Every structure is written in C-alpha cells, then in structure tokens.
Structure 1
Amino acid sequence: MNRPEREAAARRIMERTPPRVPPGLHADAVRRGGRILRRRTRTRRVLWLLLVAGVLAFTVWALTVRPWVEPPSETTPPLTGW
C-alpha cells in the first residue's frame, strides 16, 4: 500500500462512522484540566514566595553581617604607653 492508498483508506474509515466520545469524558477532562491549572498556579505562587523569602533573608543577613567590610587587622599589637 502506498501513501495515497493509505490516506484514502483512512478517509473512508473516518467518513464511515462519526467519532463517538464516551459519555462523561468531556466533564472528566474539564475537571482534570481545572485541577491541573489550579495545581500549577499554586506551585508557581509557592515558588515565588520562596524566592521572595530567600531574597529577603539574604538581604537581612547581608545588612547585619556586612561581608563586604574588611575585618579589623589583629596582627599588630596596639600602641599603648608611648
């Protein structure tokens, strides 16, 4: 069977009987789709919340510890009694 014959056979099969959808399939698909969308939205919100909390925690840590400031030198003794 070459390609045009296969296409013709497929067209005959599709035109012969109308497609039948099991009852309740549409309602199940809509319910599952809504559930998936709600789950994705909730997951996205939780991830954004975690990102904001991480940035906030890093900012507070950086402002209190100040890692960019050079620590005082402790290698030379203080000059007292001169």
Structure 2
Amino acid sequence: MSRLPNRRDEEVRRLLDTPHPAVPVDLAARAMLRGRRIVHRRRIEHSVLWALLAAAVIAGIVLTVLNWPHSTPPVPNDGTWWSPNGPD
C-alpha cells in the first residue's frame, strides 16, 4: 500500500536539509545561569510564602486565645434536666 506524498512531510524534509544556524558558544552557560536564577527566585518566593502562612497561623492562634471566653456564664439549675423552664 503506497502513501500519497504529504505536503507537510516535504516541507519538513526541505527545512531539515538546509544548513542549521550557528549556536552561540556561551548558550549552555547562559541557560545554566538563567536556570539557577529561576530556581533561586522560586526558593525565595516559597520561603516568603511559608513565612507569611506561619505568621498568619500564629496571628490567628493569638487572636483566638485573646478573644476566647474565659468562663462560661452559669446555667441556672432548676432541679430538672429535661426542661429548660423547670416543672410546669
């Protein structure tokens, strides 16, 4: 079974047969430095976000402790446990 020639295949072959452009000599070194900068920036961002999350949790705990009711109001004891208003 023969395939019909595909125009895209021919275009790709033509592009691959042409001479390739020259690659800069320091391309690998520049890519490595850029990668290091990106990783360093991400680590700093993650550290800052974790610190903000920790500060928010600590602030929430402190606010909860400061606003927590220290004692509950006494419940009147009327002698019955089944009715809040007592015996009728």
Sort the TM-score into its range (normalised by shorter chain): 0.5 to 0.7
Ranges in structure 1 where 5+ consecutive residues have no aligned partner? 72-82
1:59 aligned residue: 61
- Identity rate, percent: 37
2:46 aligned residue: 44
How big is the shift at 1:4? 2.4
Ranges in structure 2 where 5+ consecutive residues have no aligned partner? 1-5, 74-88
- Give the number of the structure whose residues are more often helix, by fraction: 1
Please list every run of at least 4 consecutive aligned residues from structure 1 whose deviation after the TM superposition is greater than 6 angstroms: none
2:13 aligned counterpart, secondary structure: helix
Identify which of structures 1 and 2 has the higher relative contact order when contacts are C-alpha pairs closer than 8 Å and 6+ apart: 2
Structure exhibiting the larger radius of gyration computed from Cα positions: 2
Give the number of equivalent residue pairs.
Answer: 67
- Root-mean-square deviation over aligned CA pairs: 2.4
2:32 to 4, 17, 30: 30
Amino acid at match of 1:49: A
1:3 to 5, 8, 13: 8
